[in-house]
Amino acid sequence: MRCSPSFLALVLLTLPGAVLAQVDPRIASLSKQLGTGQEPKARSQAALGLGSSDDPEALKPLCAALKDSNEQVRAASAQALGKLKELAGLECLKARKSETDAATKAAIQASIEALQAFKDRTPRVYVQLSGVKDKTGQLKPEVLKVTEARMRRKLTQVGAMLAPTKESKSAAQGVLRKHGIQGFRLQAEIHPTEAGGLRVSVVCISYPDQSLLGDVELQASGAKPEELLKVLAPRIIDEAADTFEWDT
């Protein structure tokens, strides 16, 4: 099914408190352990934990740990970056190609190849994400930044090629012709709910044309805003992908 301009999708989801209670990802504690832990083994375990976190916030401490004084920690961090599949990790991995430890060098090369292959996948759709607007007036800038990063990460996971924020219509059309795919523009907003939670809405518009296709919404309550958004950000992208059939 292809969505007509008049199509409107509304999806509401209330997440139970039991799910939200598990949202705290331990990123801060793992990052601290990786950066200041006394034992190399503990730092290595922290690196691997960050690599398995599926959290874009794990990128920065893992990149920093590629300069750790211990080769075991450097190798674990390189391996973790490959598993994390955050494309920005390519830059810091390539910057460490002069690594002298054989095991670490092999881990760096393996992760570079894995991330490059992930980056070079045939895209399913071309998507421009036009930022995330805070309609609550209460969210911190860093929370919005991380929320957008989570959305962008999820977009790449569902097979989207991300369009730059500013792009000419002819350039966008060239990308669509080259890959034989459709283009979408997403406009995301965060609203408060009467229950004290948050509602995330995403309007989907054809790209580079500007025809309204519809929108999807998700809401949740029962936890802090940053915890709610860690659940809602990736799920709203899944909802958009399902609603507008990006996998067809």
**What is the pLDDT, as a whole number, of residue 9?**
40
Please, are residues 199 and 192 in contact by the beta-carbon 8 Å criterion?
A: yes
Angle at 187 (CA atoms; ends 186, 189), nearest 5 degrees = 140
The CA distance from 128 to 160, in Å, is 9
Task: Place 25 in a pLDDT band, splitting at 50, 70 and 90.
Answer: low
Angle at 203 (CA atoms; ends 202, 206), nearest 5 degrees = 130
Task: Place 27 in a pLDDT band, splitting at 50, 70 and 90.
Answer: confident
**What is the pLDDT, as a whole number, of residue 35?**
94
User: H or E segment at 234?
Assistant: helix 225-243
Tokens of 109: 């090369």
Describe the strand order of the beta sheet including 182-192 as a list of residue ranges. Answer: 160-162, 125-134, 182-192, 198-206, 212-220
**What is the pLDDT, as a whole number, of residue 55?**
87
Q: Is the pLDDT confidence value at 2 over 70?
A: no
State mean pLDDT over 173-197: 95
Q: Is the pLDDT confidence value at 14 over 70?
A: no
The CA distance from 219 to 14, in Å, is 6
Tens digits of per-residue pLDDT, 60-73? 999 999 999 999 99
Tens digits of per-residue pLDDT, 163-180? 998 899 999 999 999 999
Please, are residues 93 and 111 in contact by the beta-carbon 8 Å criterion?
A: yes
**Structural domains for the chain:** 17-21+121-243 (3.40.50), 37-119 (1.25.10.10)
Cβ within 8 Å of residue 28, ≥6 positions away: none
